[in-house]
Structure 1
Amino acid sequence: MSYSDCLSDLLCGEDSSDIFSGESPGCSTDLESHDFEEESSIASFIEDERNFVPGFDYLSRFQSQSLDASAREESVAWILKVQACSGFQPLTAYLSVNYLDRFLYSRRLPTDGWPWQLLSVACLSLAAKMEEPLVPSLLDLQVEGARYIFEPRTVRRMELLVLSVLDWRLRSITPFSFTGFFACKLDPTGDYIGFLISRATEIILSNIKEASFLKYRPSSIAAAAILCAANDIPNLSLFNPEHAESWCDGLSKDKIIGCYRLMQDLVLDNSQRKPTKVLLPRLRVTIRARTRSSGSDSSSSSSSSSYKRRKLNNCLWAVDDKGSPE
C-alpha cells in the first residue's frame, strides 16, 4: 500500500462542492428540531430531579426541630464564604449544599457544632473535585472562617462516608441545569439572557441558606429565579409568572408561583438587611499529642486538650446507622 493510499484513508469523503454550497447533508438546519431536542432533554431533567434531592419530609424535620435549622444555615454560610474567597463556581457551592442535605436526610448528626463543620468541609471538597480545575488542599480549604480545623485524613474519612450515603451519585441536577433554557424562553430575542442567568444565579445562592426552599425542586427554583431576575428589566417585568408552566412539560404552576413569591419576599428582605460579621474562635482538630511542658498547670492543660482532640477525630465514626452514638 502506497503512502498516498494510507493518507487517503484519513481524509473525509465529502465533495468540496457540498462544503461550499451552504448545505450540510449530514446535519439538520431545522431550528425547531433543535429546540424540540433541547426541550426533551430539559423535560428528562425535570423527571429525574427527584432522585437528587432529599425526601419530601426533610423540611418538616427542621420545622419540628428534630434537625437544627440554625446549624444548617451556619454550615451553608461557611460554604458560600469559601466559594467566594476561593473563586469557585456557583455550581460548586450549590452541589456542596445538595450533598449536605442529602446526607442529613439519611444520617443524623450529633447536635454540637464540630460534626456539622466536618460534614461541610467534606461536601465542599467533593463538590470542588467534581467541578473545579484547581482544588486547594484540605487544610487550605478550611482557612476561611472555619471554627474547627480537621486533619486531611479525618476529612477524607468523612468524604468516604458521604460518598457511601449518597451511593456515589455526585452528578446532581441543580437549578443551573435549567436557568439557561428558561432564560431563552422568557427572552426569545436573546437581548437579556446574560443578565437573566447572572442575576438568577445570584438570587439562587443568596437564598440557599433558607430551609423553606427545600420544599421546591431545582426546576421550580430556577424558574422562580429567572422570573425574579426579569423584574429588574422593564421589557420583561410584565411577564405573567403563571405562564412559566408552559416553558416545558413537567413544570408545576403552583410550585413555581409559590417559590417565586417566597423568593420575592426574601430578595426584598435581604436587600434591607445589613450583614453582620461574626468572629468565631478557631480550634485546630488533630490527633497528634502535644509535648508536655515542665509546668504542672500547662501539662494538665495540654493533656486535657490532647484528649479532646483525639475524641473529636474519633467519635464520629462511632455513630451507628440509626444516627445514635454507640
Structure 2
Amino acid sequence: MSVSCSDRFTDLLCGEDSDEVFSGDSPACSSELDSPASCIEESSIAGFIEHERNFVPGCDYLARFQSQSLDASAREEAVAWILKVQAFYNFQPLTAYLSVNYLDRFLYSRRLPQTSGWPWQLLAVACLSLAAKMEEPLVPSLLDLQVEGAKYIFQPKTIRRMELLVLTVLDWRLRSVTPFSFIDFFAYKVDPTGTFFGFLISKARDIILSNIKEASFLEYWPSSIAAAAILCAANDIPNLSLVNPEHAELWCNGLSREKILGCYRLMQELIVDNGRRKPPKILPQLRVRIRPRTRSSDSSLSSSSSPPYKRRKLNNCLWVDDDKGNSE
C-alpha cells in the first residue's frame, strides 16, 4: 500500500504556534532523539522533570483501571494496534509513544460512550494521526492509516472531527515531555565514554515501547520510565551490568529514587515474563494487500455489501457530548 501525503489536513496543526502552546516558564519540550547528549544541559533536563507532570494523566488514572471503571483490556488492544501500525509504516518510536500519551490524557478528562469497541478504535486512529502529523515527514492518508487489522473503518471527515475533539480536550498541547526526552542524557550518565551509547538508546527505546501496553506503567512519569529503561538496557552489557539502580536519582535534580526503582523492578519482571512467551506470528502485508483488492472487485456485490453498511453506520455515530454540554 502506497503512502500518500495528506496535504489537505496540514492546516489542522501547521497553524499551531509554539509560542502560544508553551507559555510562561514551560520548556520547549521537543524530542531529544537526534541531539547529542553532550549538548544537553542538566538544567534543561531538570526543566523537563519539573514540567513532565503537565503532560501525563492525573494520579488517579491508574486507579480507574484497577477499579474497572475504565477497561484495561480495551486500552491494551488499542495500544497494540497503534504499535502494529507504527511498525508497518516504520514510524519513529516517539510517534507511537505520543499517540498513547494523547489517548491516555484524553481518557483521563473525557469518558468514552459505553458501547461496542468502535469508540476506542476511533480514538486510537485520531491520536495516531495527530502524533504522525507532529513527528513524521510523510503521513499516510486517513484511510491508509487504518490498516493492521483495524476492526472498523471510518471516513476521513469522522476522524477529523475526532481529532478536533482530542485537540480540544488536550488544550492543543501536543509537544509532550516523554521518556525519549531523557534517554540520551541518562545513557551518558551510565556510559560517560559513549562506547555503548547507540546500543543503550536502541535497547531503551525497545523496552519503553514493549511495555507501553501495560497499564501498571501509568504510575510512573517519563523521567522514571526513561531511567529504568536505560538501567535495564545496561544489564545486557557486561561492562555496565554493575551499575547500581539506587544511584540513578543522582543523575539529575528532581529524580525520585523510589519511582525509578519501582519502575525498574516492574520492567525486569515483564522482561522475564515476556521472555517465556512465544512471540505471535504476524503477517501484516497479507492482510493489508488483500483488503484493497476486495474493495475494488466488482465480482461479488453481496460479499461487499455488509462492510460499507457498517462503515456508514459507524461514521454517523460519533458522539457529540460537547454539543450537549456534557463533559462525559
| TM-score normalised by length of structure 1 | 0.79
How far has the Cα of 1:189 moved from its partner?
Answer: 1.1
In 2, are the aligned partners of 1:109 and 1:323 still within 8 Å (CA)? no
Deviation at 1:35, TM superposition (A): 6.8
- The corresponding residue for 1:14 is none
> What CA deviation, in whole Å up to 9, does each residue of 1:9-53 have, x standing for no partner?
xxxxxxxxxxxxxxxxxxxxxxxxx97970000000000000000
Unaligned runs of 5+ in 1: 1-33, 285-293
Q: Is the 8 A contact 2:154 2:311 kept in 1?
A: no
1:315 paired to 2:317 = yes
Aligned twin of 1:27: none
Q: Does the 8 Å CA contact 2:143/2:155 hold for their aligned counterparts? A: yes
- Tell me which structure has the larger Cα radius of gyration: 1
The reply to whether residue 115 of structure 1 matches residue 119 of structure 2 is: yes
Distance (whole Å) between structure 2 residues aligned to residue 117 and residue 188 of structure 1: 43
Q: How many percent of aligned residue pairs carry the same amino acid? A: 79
Structure 2: runs of 5+ lacking an equivalent: 1-36, 292-300
Q: Secondary structure at the match of 1:315?
A: coil
Q: For the Cα contact (< 8 Å) 1:107–1:322, is it kept in 2?
A: no
CA deviation string 1:163-213 (max 9, x = no partner): 000000000000000000000011111111111010000000000000000
Q: Does 1:57 align with 2:60?
A: yes
Query: Out of 197, 200, 208, which is 1:204 matched to?
Result: 208
| Residues 154 and 314, structure 2, Cα contact 8 Å, conserved in 1 | no
Q: What's the CA shift string for 1:279-315, capped at 9, x where partnerless?
A: 9x99x9xxxxxxxxx9xxx7xx96x987754442233
Matches within 5 A, 1:90-239: 90-111=93-114, 112-239=116-243
CA–CA separation in structure 2 for the residues paired with 1:138 and 1:238: 47
- Work out the CA distance in 2 between the residues paired with 1:310 and 1:140: 18
Matched residue type, 1:312 = L
Compared CA separation, residues 309 and 199, structure 1 to 2 (3 A): closer
Distance in 2, Cα, partners of 1:278 & 1:61 = 32
2:64 maps to 1:78: no
**2:8 is matched with which residue?**
none
2-structure distance, mates of 1:166, 1:59: 18
Give the corresponding residue for 2:48. Answer: 45
- Higher relative contact order structure (alpha carbons within 8 Å, sequence separation ≥ 6): 2
Q: Please say which of residues 140-149 and 179-188 is displaced more in the overlay.
A: 140-149
RMSD of equivalent CA atoms: 2.6
1:307–1:259 CA distance, 2 compared to 1 (3 A): same
Alignment length, in residue pairs?
A: 276
Counterpart-to-counterpart distance in 2, 1:91 and 1:268: 25
In structure 1, what is the Cα distance between the partners aligned to 2:161 and 2:181? 30
Give the superposition deviation at 1:74: 0.3
Q: Is the 8 A contact 2:84 2:148 kept in 1?
A: yes
TM-score w.r.t. the length of structure 2 is 0.78
Asked if the contact 2:125/2:159 (under 8 Å) is kept, the reply is: yes
Provide the rounded CA distance (Å) in 2 between the counterparts of 1:180 and 1:204: 14
Distance in 2, matches of 1:93 and 1:204, equals: 11
1:108–1:322: 8 Å Cα contact kept in structure 2?
A: no
